[in-house]
Structure 1
Amino acid sequence: MRRPRLALATVLTGALLALPGCLYRATPDPELSAKDKEWMAMVPEPEIDRRFARYMIEDPTGEAPGTIVVETKERQLYYVLPDRKAIRYGVTVGDEAYGWSGNARIFRKAAWPDWHPPAEMIKRWPHVHAMQGGPANPLGARALYLADASGKDTLYRIHGTNEPERIGQAASSGCIRMRNIDVVDLYNRVGADAKVIVR
């Protein structure tokens, strides 16, 4: 009897997830409130590119547990766990004109935050305006606010998005965007004052 042929995509996916030394393990979605479910359903999610899906992996960063590392060229964010593990998330990073690198700390966490675009952004794009939290808000479901070493707000955020189709691209004004389900997952894991490294 002939064995059924597996779809090439299935074979390739299995191979990708089982490469020696870089075993990827999908992680379950976080628990969501009724409000999260309702509002997140209003942001259409494209089919996710597996390169930017959420996985638990061997930690490639060498940083201390609890640290967030953003590898801008890879379009990946790593949250370092104990035992040399990390959660890897696909992200949107700053486009060439607005990208940045350096160290920061989280000084505030917010669910469905209001958006107050900085003056320089309004100058570039006069059509943008402050907006209450919600499905149409560019900050999405959660935001992590970043401060520099002196404690000053950098005006950069790690946040959700109302444009999930741009995950994996360099398309933001410097903020790190995540799928809403992923930013909820990170928000639930990360501690106050966590170190953030953007490379």
Structure 2
Amino acid sequence: MPALAAGLVLAACVATPPVEPPVVETPVVEAPVKPLSYLPDDTADDPRDLNLVGDQLPPEPFRRAEIDYPTAEPPGTVIIDTGEKHLYLVEEDGRALRYSVGVGREGFAWKGTVAIGSRQKWPRWFPPKEMIAREAARGHNIPEMMEGQIGNPLGARALYLYDGPKDTLFRIHGTFEPKSIGTNASSGCIRMANADVMDLYERVGVGTRVVVR
């Protein structure tokens, strides 16, 4: 302690000003997880697109974000991890947009590499005959076709998945049950909150490669 005190006294007696340390700029490091905004789109040209944020958002832990995501798949690829219940849109420089999804319940899970064969806004819903029969056996009568509207099981947007020229009958689509995001709830389709599927819809086109794991 005496040696330290003496050093402080001597330093206080120096007439020349102390040398300022050089200014070192801290490099800006992009956050590994960047939450994305859910502001409503005031430019919507379809009145049905308005007010689909509000109570249609996925639960807080399942909000979309931009993240670090190294992968061998090229940018523009959609990767769906059914175990994690996440959909990734691969970007440049090892990044990706991450969305949370609902996936097939037990017995309806699947995997493979397909492509987006068609894109529809406010799609009509044509449930498979097997689904109609299955639901009828449970006492639920569902129509053979439903117009695109609030409450339609396909939500505000649908991306139709094809294996070559063949429609797989699986879709990436919206849902009016956002609380089902992050769960095993569908008959094999990939569910997204309407706000998320509307965002993804604007980023992908027909021919986009989709890898389901």
Which TM-score bucket, shorter chain as reference? 0.7 to 0.9
**Number of equivalenced pairs:** 176
Unaligned stretches of 5+ in structure 1?
1-19
The offset of 1:36, in angstroms, is 0.3
**Partner amino acid, structure 1, of 2:197:** V
Q: Deviations over 1:129-176 (max 9, x none)?
A: 22110111000010000001x310000000000111110001100000
- Say whether 1:189 aligns with 2:203: yes
| Residue from 91, 95, 98 that aligns with 1:88 | 98
Using the alignment, how far apart are the partners of 1:88 and 1:78 within structure 2? 5
Using the alignment, how far apart are the partners of 1:98 and 1:152 within structure 2? 19
Contact 2:58 2:193 in 1 (8 A): no
Using the alignment, how far apart are the partners of 2:107 and 2:71 within structure 1? 26
Using the alignment, how far apart are the partners of 1:104 and 1:22 within structure 2? 32
Q: Residues 46, 54 of structure 1: CA spacing in aligned structure 2 closer, same or farther, 3 A cutoff?
A: closer
Contact 2:34 2:65 in 1 (8 A): yes
Bigger Rg over Cα: 2
Once the two structures are superposed, the pairs formed by residues 98-117 of structure 1 within 5 Å of their partners are: 98-117=108-127
Sequence identity of aligned pairs in percent?
47
- Say whether 1:49 aligns with 2:60: yes
1:139 corresponds in structure 2 to 154
**Partner amino acid, structure 2, of 1:146:** L
Using the alignment, how far apart are the partners of 1:22 and 1:60 within structure 2? 15
1:27 corresponds in structure 2 to 36
Contact 1:108 1:144 in 2 (8 A): yes
Using the alignment, how far apart are the partners of 1:21 and 1:92 within structure 2? 29
Using the alignment, how far apart are the partners of 1:191 and 1:28 within structure 2? 22
Using the alignment, how far apart are the partners of 1:183 and 1:46 within structure 2? 11
1:79 corresponds in structure 2 to 89
Contact 2:56 2:176 in 1 (8 A): no
Using the alignment, how far apart are the partners of 2:210 and 2:200 within structure 1? 13
Contact 1:61 1:69 in 2 (8 A): no
Contact 1:66 1:191 in 2 (8 A): no
